[in-house]
Structure 1
Amino acid sequence: MNITRIEFVKNCIFISVFVFFDQLSKYFIVQHVEIGSEYLSFFGDFFKIIHVRNTGILFSMGSNIGSSLKSLFFLIIPIIILVFVFYFSLNEKNRMAKISLLLILSGGIGNIIDRLLRPLGVVDFLDVKFFGIFGLQRWPTFNFADSYVVVGITLFIIYDLFAKNKKN
């Protein structure tokens, strides 16, 4: 087995674990919480577990786009992007950059699975109070896959900033 195959297997295991956890959490919500209902609330109403469906993308953007455009923008283009991200992750030597790319992949795959298998939309269930910051009383409801993408992008930006500073 050459290094590319070893890296391929490692990447697949990493992604599989994160996608499994994402899908398991969504399965639990679908099985135990009615759409539009609250399941648990922590610290008053600071953090809630609720069940909503998102037919758009991040923060429900694009939920009112026609179905043929939705297929293009929410399935085909993301799949193409994820193929490129996976390819780059195989060749990435920096550990932080690799983990960030794999988190982005895990989140993207988790939400694509929902788009393919759940006709009512992506399952979102994490709801956090936002105290009026940016005019939002509550942050848009999200799921673990969304978190993976945001953390992955954040880590990659941090890595990129430090990599550029090292070069200068």
Structure 2
Amino acid sequence: MNSASLKGIVLAGLIIAIDQAFKIYMVDFMANHPFGIEVTSFFRLVMVWNSGVSFGMFSGGETTRWILIGVSSCVTVGLLVWLTRVSQTFLAIGLGSVIGGAVGNIIDRIHFGKVADFFDFDLIFMRWPAFNIADMAIVFGVCVLLVDSLFFDDKSSKKEI
């Protein structure tokens, strides 16, 4: 395994550890604050259990839970295989972030049956669905993968011009 792949795996492990430590603390802490905590006029800490995926889509019972665990696990294994084959650190960071976030949410689904979300933003023009550290890592990682594919990939259209 090369150093870029190793960096991605270490990053995934750090994200999993931070996400799970935060969730363990926050699930207990928020039990004493059932109506949430207003941090600013647009940001609150809340306790939201999401049995679905983004925006609560595909919420359901036990069958849905295990389907989501299975699909997430298969995608994570595919990304892990990809990660072991990359040599660019930037790409490895993106893959490691997505893997770490995905595993953090898989652990929630196995342990709690749902994903624990805490961050609630009420922007002037919309209320964003609650999310967690794992979700932030996934979004960050996907953004890195998009930037990599658009500007750094050998096959990008930028290099053909």
Same fold (TM over 0.5): yes
Q: Higher RCO, 1 or 2 (CA under 8 Å, sep at least 6)?
A: 2
2:30 to 15, 27, 33: 33
Aligned counterparts of 1:28 and 1:90: Cα–Cα separation in 2: 32
CA gap 1:142/1:95 in 2 versus in 1, 3 angstroms:
same
CA-based RMSD of the aligned residues comes to 1.9
CA gap 1:6/1:151 in 2 versus in 1, 3 angstroms:
closer
1:151 to 140, 148, 151: 140
Pair 1:71-2:66 in alignment: yes
SS in 1 for 2:123: coil
1:2-46 deviation per Cα after TM superposition (whole angstroms, max 9, x unaligned): xx17666544332221111101111111111128431x32332x1
C-alpha contact 1:100 1:152 (8 A) present in aligned 2: yes
1:48 to 33, 44, 49: 44
Aligned counterparts of 2:2 and 2:144: Cα–Cα separation in 1: 25
Length, aligned pairs only:
156
Q: Which amino acid aligns with 1:150?
A: V
TM-score (norm 2): 0.87
Pair 1:96-2:129 in alignment: no
Pair 1:61-2:54 in alignment: no
TM-score (norm 1): 0.84
Aligned counterparts of 1:153 and 1:48: Cα–Cα separation in 2: 25
Aligned counterparts of 1:36 and 1:60: Cα–Cα separation in 2: 20
- Cα offset for 1:148? 0.5
C-alpha contact 1:48 1:128 (8 A) present in aligned 2: yes
Identical-pair percentage: 26
Pair 1:21-2:18 in alignment: yes
Aligned counterparts of 1:9 and 1:96: Cα–Cα separation in 2: 12
2:107 to 109, 113, 116: 113
C-alpha contact 1:59 1:142 (8 A) present in aligned 2: no
Q: Which amino acid aligns with 2:48?
A: V
1:117-165 deviation per Cα after TM superposition (whole angstroms, max 9, x unaligned): 013x111000111222xxx3x1000000001001100111011110311
1:69-116 deviation per Cα after TM superposition (whole angstroms, max 9, x unaligned): 4412x1111111101101111111122111000000000000000000
**5+ long unaligned stretches in structure 2:** none
